[in-house]
């Protein structure tokens, strides 16, 4: 077919990019070549609208073994000769159309990124955003997504050790589904995503190739519209049992000495793997697409190249060791076919038998090579200054504090996510230390050592929307605080940056501000960014109006508990223990769930926050945990201090009796979400040591009250009993989702 500028536009390319392609090739591309550029130059694959700002993030650190962008995932030294590979990515657009397979293949893809490097996945986390739970569509989405994550991860055999779920109307059409995987490997055994050595054979291994997921990268780089359901072919289909076989075969292959490099076929399939591995090795490949194992007939060259069929790898093997590789994959009953070889030029030649169907320079396709890089305009949205006009004194204090506390306990953004967590296998591999040890972060035992990993995903998108720079700083800080409160030390982050359309100057301003704030916080905590994902175009075009989601830069943080005996849980331990608040109580309720739910006020700034003070608080908490001065630690976050106390009381069904300070508004004290606060409990025998230590830190701290038998009391007023509150907290979400209302399935 004749290729025109309209063809390019139909494939998501701009007229200017079409001209760039013609200049690179010295001719007009054919349809297959244009399809190649359309996926490789899509936002999802090339980061063309984000890379300028991503490069401002800190990428170096004393514990890094592999930095951002160097391989499929970051690799961090966790001691004992081990490296930890971890990464988070999005599967938002597929989940908006087909939530079950969208979520399942998101889990499969992120796990492949980890074991392609030679690491065995040992833990998963996720970060999920959905719309109004009163909508049948939202219920359909969350049920499909959670089942997809659970079915794939449970079958593959990796525990989910943490995550978050948040609801807001802005996600009604476009949910966010971010999946994180964490793996462990011996240092020095990493597999690089590289192809080199002229004449070395190129294998495709794993599943057969079909037409699913074609143009998935392009689909993920466009708005969700009312017609997006027609894009079902862009949704991949997963097979977790095939992936388990591929995992074991890949790790065995790594021990064979036959491998040069390997890469997962994720977004953009064969063309992505061939181009990126070639560019990294500074050479090219000659590939015969007819040799690819197919599961469908009549599949064209461009479809083979762009297919995102799951559970596939591209492997570069040392010439002469083909029999070793083929024996391993035959043992695991997996496809293992030579489809080409490495050539010395910067060129990808794709054949269908004897017919050359595409010829393009590998380097011209990839990030850091010929892929375009844009500097988008941005402008501060009008709402930003409006939100800052919020005044606390304009908000009336509630008449019934007990009723407010009940409202918050049963709010879906605060109530237990038990309905979600129970669909995940949290105990497979027997390394999850938090199964019966509730903590602010997921703790994963590194067997045979004295250490454990501490893992978390965090982002309050309401804060980021109100103030993108401060909100992103808070996201990093809360992740670090969760690691520290669990007895760990923050090491590094991966991020999943979920935003609207980058061509919207106000959306791009949110992105720039958030990346700037994230960078400042990461430098403060010495947690370099090891990689991640940018997901733009998270918005809906409905009835002529475009509505972006809240800017949601999710932080996946890796920490280490260097001595497992320092692991700290959040639950109250014994009646009579003294409850202390570390950090300063302030008259602030900006950005809080309380303000949004009880008063219906959504227009307020992000909550009180000071990065330097936050760092000092965390350093103090590290010291008191290592000094064994406290019995529990739990950070103050969504829902404020009262919810923190309730969450600490519930596991062992204790109560509390606390007194509020006279100088702080009671609702701000109980329900405000000012940052840099941690609730700890201290046995009376250690109280003097604790107070002496805190006095030396020159930080705010105060005694709130005591752990009691089961009643919740504030200022001598009963807020009920823990058994009753716990029942509401645990069952709210499942009652909403088990509603027998008709579910939307289209």
Which residues make Cβ contacts (< 8 Å) with residue 486, sequence separation at least 6? Answer: 439, 440, 441, 443, 454, 559, 561, 567, 568, 569, 633
Question: Residue 23: how many CB atoms within 10 A of its CB?
Answer: 9
pLDDT at 388: 96
pLDDT at 542: 66
Residue 551 is given by DSSP the state P
Which residues make Cβ contacts (< 8 Å) with residue 21, sequence separation at least 6? Answer: 8, 13, 29, 33, 34, 37
pLDDT at 234: 57
pLDDT at 227: 52
Full 3-state SS string of 9-27:
HHCCCCHHHHHHHHHHHCC
Long-range contacts of 606-610 (CB under 8 A, 24+ apart): 606/463, 606/464, 606/466, 606/467, 606/470, 606/471, 606/474, 607/463, 607/474, 607/672, 607/673, 607/674, 607/675, 608/674, 608/675, 609/470, 609/473, 609/474, 609/477, 609/674, 609/675, 609/676, 610/675, 610/676
Which residues make Cβ contacts (< 8 Å) with residue 689, sequence separation at least 6? Answer: 627, 629
CA distances, 117 to each of 76, 187, 260, 325 (Å): 13, 11, 12, 17
pLDDT at 232: 44
CA distances, 322 to each of 345, 669, 685 (Å): 23, 67, 68
Question: Active-site residue 44, yes or no?
Answer: yes
> What is d(CA 462, CA 456) in angstroms, rounded to the nearest whole number?
19
pLDDT at 368: 86
Contact in structure between 570 and 648 (CB atoms under 8 Å): yes
Q: Which helix (H) or strand (E) holds 692?
A: helix 687-697
> What is d(CA 214, CA 236) in angstroms, rounded to the nearest whole number?
8
Q: What SS3 class is residue 483?
A: helix
pLDDT tens by residue, 685-728: 999 999 999 999 999 999 999 999 999 999 999 999 999 999 99
Q: Which residues of the chain have pLDDT under 50?
A: 216-217, 219-221, 228-232, 740-746
> What is d(CA 93, CA 352) in angstroms, rounded to the nearest whole number?
32
pLDDT at 740: 40
Question: Active-site residue 566, yes or no?
Answer: no
> What is d(CA 254, CA 393) in angstroms, rounded to the nearest whole number?
64
Q: CA neighbours within 13 Å on the CB side: how many for 713? A: 14
> What is d(CA 140, CA 162) in angstroms, rounded to the nearest whole number?
22
Domains and CATH numbers, the chain: 53-365 (3.90.650.10), 383-424+570-739 (3.90.650.10)
pLDDT tens by residue, 395-434: 999 999 999 999 999 999 999 999 999 999 999 999 999 9
pLDDT at 266: 78
Torsion sign across C-alpha atoms 318, 319, 324, 328: positive
pLDDT at 290: 97
List residues bridging with 350 in a β-sheet: 287, 358
């Amino acid at each position: 077919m004749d290729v025109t500028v309209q063809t390019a536009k139909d494939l998501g390319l701009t007229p200017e990019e079409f001209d760039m392609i013609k200049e690179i090739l010295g001719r007009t591309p054919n349809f297959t070549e244009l399809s190649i550029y359309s996926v490789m130059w899509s936002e999802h694959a090339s980061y063309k609208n984000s890379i300028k700002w991503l490069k401002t993030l800190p990428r170096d650190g004393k514990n890094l073994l592999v930095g951002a962008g160097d391989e499929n995932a970051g690799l961090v030294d966790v001691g004992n000769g081990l490296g930890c590979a971890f990464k988070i990515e999005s599967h938002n657009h597929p989940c908006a159309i087909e939530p079950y397979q969208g979520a399942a293949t998101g889990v499969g893809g992120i796990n492949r990124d980890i074991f392609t490097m030679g690491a065995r996945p040992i833990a998963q986390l996720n970060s999920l955003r959905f719309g109004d739970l009163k909508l049948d569509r939202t219920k359909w989405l969350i049920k499909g997504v959670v089942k997809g994550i659970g079915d794939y991860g449970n079958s593959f055999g990796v525990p989910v050790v943490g995550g978050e779920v948040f609801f807001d109307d802005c996600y009604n059409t476009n949910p966010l589904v971010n999946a994180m995987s964490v793996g462990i490997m011996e240092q020095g055994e990493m597999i690089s995503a590289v192809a080199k050595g002229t004449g070395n054979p190129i294998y495709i291994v794993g599943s057969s190739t079909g037409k699913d997921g074609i143009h998935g990268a392009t689909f993920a780089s466009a708005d969700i519209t009312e017609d997006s359901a027609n894009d079902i072919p862009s949704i991949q289909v997963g097979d977790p049992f095939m992936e388990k076989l591929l995992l074991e075969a890949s790790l065995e292959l790594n021990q064979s000495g036959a491998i040069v490099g390997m890469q997962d076929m994720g977004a953009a399939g064969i063309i992505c793997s061939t181009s990126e591995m070639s560019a990294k090795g500074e050479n090219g490949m000659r590939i015969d697409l007819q040799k690819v194992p197919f599961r469908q007939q009549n599949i064209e060259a461009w479809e083979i190249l762009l297919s995102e069929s799951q559970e596939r790898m591209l492997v570069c093997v040392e010439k002469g060791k083909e029999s070793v590789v083929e024996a391993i994959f035959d043992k695991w009953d997996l496809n293992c076919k030579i489809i080409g070889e490495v050539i010395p030029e910067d060129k990808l030649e794709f054949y269908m038998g004897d017919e050359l169907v595409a010829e393009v320079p590998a380097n011209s396709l990839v990030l850091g090579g010929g892929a375009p890089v844009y500097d988008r305009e941005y402008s501060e949205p009008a709402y930003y200054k409006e939100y800052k006009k919020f005044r606390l004194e304009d908000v009336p204090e509630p008449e019934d504090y007990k009723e407010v506390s009940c409202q918050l306990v049963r709010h879906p953004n605060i109530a237990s996510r038990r309905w979600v967590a129970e669909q995940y296998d949290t105990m497979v591999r027997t390394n999850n230390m938090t199964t019966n040890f509730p903590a602010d972060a997921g703790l994963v035992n590194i067997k045979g050592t004295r250490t454990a990993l501490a893992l978390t995903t965090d982002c309050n998108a309401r804060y980021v929307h109100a103030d993108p720079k401060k909100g992103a700083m808070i996201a990093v800080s809360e992740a670090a605080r969760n690691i520290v409160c669990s007895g760990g030390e923050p090491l590094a982050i991966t991020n999943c940056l979920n935003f609207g359309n980058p061509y919207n100057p106000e959306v791009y301003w949110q992105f720039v501000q958030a990346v700037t704030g994230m960078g400042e916080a990461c430098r403060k905590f010495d947690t370099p960014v090891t990689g991640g994902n940018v997901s733009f175009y998270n918005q809906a075009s409905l009835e002529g109006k475009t509505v972006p989601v809240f800017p949601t830069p999710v932080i996946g943080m890796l920490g280490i508990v260097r001595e497992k005996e320092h692991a700290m849980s959040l639950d109250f331990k014994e009646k009579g223990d003294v409850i202390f608040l570390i950090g300063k109580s302030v008259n602030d309720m900006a950005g809080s769930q309380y303000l949004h739910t009880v008063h219906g006020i959504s227009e307020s700034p992000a909550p009180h926050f000071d990065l330097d003070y936050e760092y000092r608080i965390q350093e103090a908490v590290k010291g008191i945990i290592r000094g064994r001065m406290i019995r529990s630690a739990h950070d103050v976050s969504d829902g404020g201090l009262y919810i923190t106390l309730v969450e600490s009381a519930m596991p062992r069904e204790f109560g509390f009796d606390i007194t509020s300070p006279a100088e702080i508004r009671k609702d701000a004290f109980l329900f405000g979400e000012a940052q840099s606060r941690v609730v700890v409990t201290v046995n009376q025998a250690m109280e003097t040591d604790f107070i002496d230590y805190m006095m030396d830190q020159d930080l705010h701290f105060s005694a709130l009250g005591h752990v009691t038998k089961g009643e919740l009391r504030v200022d001598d007023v009963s807020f009920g009993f823990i058994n009753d509150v716990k029942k509401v907290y645990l069952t709210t979400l499942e009652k909403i989702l088990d509603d027998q209302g008709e579910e939307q399935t289209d």
